[in-house]
Amino acid sequence: MDLQHLTDTLPTTPALVLDADTLRENLAVLQDLRQRSGCKVLYSIKALPLSSVLEIARPYVDGFAVSSLFEAKLAAECLPAQASLHLSTPGIRPDEWPELAALLTHVSFNSATQYLRLAPNTPASCALGLRVNPHLSFLDDARFNPCRAHSKLGISLDELWQSSYLEQVQGLHVHTVFAATDFKPLIATVAKLRSYFGKDLAKLKWLNLGGGYLFKQIADHRPFIDLVLQLRHDFGLEVFIEPGKAVVGDAGHLLATVLDCFVSDGKTVAILDTSVNHNPEVFEYQRQPSVYGHDPKAAYPTILAGCTCLAGDVFGEYRFHQPLAIGTKIVFTQVGAYSLIKAHRFNGYNFPDIYVHQDARLQRVKHYAYADYHQQWSAQA
Ligand SMILES: Cc1ncc(COP(=O)(O)O)c(C=O)c1O
């Protein structure tokens, strides 16, 4: 997708533009892994559950991974009959479980107590599994480290080892990383599982290796392929992966327009018609998203700021070759995952429109109106 052409032609901002070619490129990488290793691929829809993405992904994947009843319902509407639908979450509501379980092909219970309470009420159509926590920390930031101290995510290997649960379930699930660009964590995780359970792994039917790997950014896929082939050969396991960001992350661009521009304490500030609320991880993790046209050596430093009243609603300081002016369009790149799904309308600023770019055409697939905001905040009589 030509970003300059996009900024010149996009009719409305703020807008999330999804590039269908990039989505298909990402999915083709996963399909190649599927063919070479025999693993099964699920799109983890939490990254972006937009129906256009689910429809594009459907022919490339074996199913979807979900976290809740709403996600499961949305996924089930799009999936063909034979597809897999996996769930793992710390927060299954007992009142929702019958409806949710009926939609699933696999569940990985997050704790022993969750398993003991809900397994007896799970239909035979849903294979029982457990999420395990190998207590291998690969991430420095505890906010997104599933293996942090006192983690709420997964049963510890020691607890599982001392129980008889492994005999009672058909599968295990592990998820330990975020945005990993090599397979070392996965290799260490599987080695730890093997060291605990050895040949007993052959009593299981499946192993879900979670998400968290940016497959396209990893040059050598051989270690992954060998790992999966070995698990299939040594234990006869069906191996799943459930990437989210690897599917949709670099396919999404957030376009905004400069609404105002002024100097504050000696620095130029540009106010955009978007905010960090359209990409909340910028604020949550103090992450600075990439911007098209930013060059660290360029002459015009500018603070890109969101339009809300929050002082910290700021994307960061960037440098441009031309001074920004009111009306200039800004493109944040690689923001397809965990952006719009976490977005909200603080201060009453609307959500971005959503466009899909496909076959050199831009199609607007979503627009929110005042009626949506009114519906959200009008109390029911
Ligand atoms: C259990 C589980 N599976 C899969 C994913 C998807 O991870 P990613 O989008 O990093 O590939 C996540 C992300 O949080 C997760 O918690």
Measured in angstroms, how far is the CA atom of residue 124 from the centroid of ligand 1? 26
Measured in angstroms, how far is the CA atom of residue 66 from the centroid of ligand 1? 10
Query: Looking at residue 381, what is its pLDDT?
Result: 76
Concatenating the DSSP letter of every residue in 127-171 gives: EEEEEEE------S-GGG-TTSTT-SSSEEHHHHHHSSHHHH-SE
Query: Mean per-residue pLDDT for 259-270?
Result: 98
Please, how many CA atoms are within 13 Å of residue 352, restricted to the half-sphere of its CB?
34
CB 243 within 8 A of CB 213: yes
* Burial class of residue 182, CB neighbours in 10 A (0-12, 13-18, 19+): middle
Q: How far apart are the first and last CA of the chain?
A: 48
Give the residue, by CA position, lying nearest to ligand 1 atom 12. 211
Percent of the chain with pLDDT over 90: 97
Measured in angstroms, how far is the CA atom of residue 182 from the centroid of ligand 1? 16
- Nearest ligand 1 atom to the CA of 337 is 9
CB 40 within 8 A of CB 243: no
If phi > 0 it is left, if psi is from -120 to 50 it is alpha, else beta; for residue 165 that is: alpha
Q: Is the pLDDT of residue 98 over 90?
A: yes
- Give the confidence band of 378 by pLDDT, cuts at 50, 70, 90: very high
Measured in angstroms, how far is the CA atom of residue 329 from the centroid of ligand 1? 32
- Give the confidence band of 267 by pLDDT, cuts at 50, 70, 90: very high
Query: Looking at residue 189, what is its pLDDT?
Result: 98
Q: What phi and psi, each to the nearest 5 degrees, are found at residue 350?
A: -70, 160
pLDDT in tens, 178-219: 999 999 999 999 999 999 999 999 999 999 999 999 999 999
Query: Looking at residue 81, what is its pLDDT?
Result: 87
Give the residue, by CA position, lying nearest to ligand 1 atom 5. 211
Write the CATH number of the domain with boundaries 3-18+249-375: 2.40.37.10
Query: Mean per-residue pLDDT for 72-96?
Result: 96
Q: Please name the CATH architecture into which domain 38-243 falls.
A: Alpha-Beta Barrel (3.20)
- Nearest ligand 1 atom to the CA of 47 is 9
Concatenating the DSSP letter of every residue in 88-128 gives: --S---TTTHHHHHHH-SEEEESSHHHHHHHGGG--TTSEE
Measured in angstroms, how far is the CA atom of residue 33 from the centroid of ligand 1? 18
Measured in angstroms, how far is the CA atom of residue 174 from the centroid of ligand 1? 10
Burial readout 118-136 (b: 16 or more C-beta within 10 A, e: otherwise): bbeebeeebbbbbbbbbbb
pLDDT in tens, 337-356: 999 999 999 999 999 999 99
CB 151 within 8 A of CB 131: no
Q: Is the pLDDT of residue 231 over 80?
A: yes
Query: Looking at residue 140, what is its pLDDT?
Result: 87
CB 301 within 8 A of CB 317: yes
- Nearest ligand 1 atom to the CA of 178 is 10
Within 6 A (CB) of ligand 1 lie 44, 47, 65, 88, 175, 178, 210-212, 242-246, 337
- Nearest ligand 1 atom to the CA of 177 is 10
Measured in angstroms, how far is the CA atom of residue 86 from the centroid of ligand 1? 12
CB 181 within 8 A of CB 138: no
Long-range contacts of 92-98 (CB under 8 A, 24+ apart): 92/118, 93/69, 94/118, 96/69, 97/121, 97/122
Domain coordinates in residue numbering, the chain: 3-18+249-375, 38-243
Query: Looking at residue 101, what is its pLDDT?
Result: 98
Give the residue, by CA position, lying nearest to ligand 1 atom 9. 244
Query: Looking at residue 186, what is its pLDDT?
Result: 98
- Give the confidence band of 171 by pLDDT, cuts at 50, 70, 90: very high
- Nearest ligand 1 atom to the CA of 144 is 14
- Mutation test residue for ligand 1: of 174, 242, 287, the one with most atoms within 8 Å of CB: 242
pLDDT in tens, 236-264: 999 999 999 999 999 999 999 999 999 99
Cα separation, 176 vs 164, in Å, equals 24
What length is written for the chain? 381
**Taking the CA atoms of the chain, what radius of gyration do you get in angstroms?**
22
Cα separation, 48 vs 61, in Å, equals 15
Helix H, strand E, coil C: the string for 212-223 is CECHHHCCCCHH
- Nearest ligand 1 atom to the CA of 338 is 9
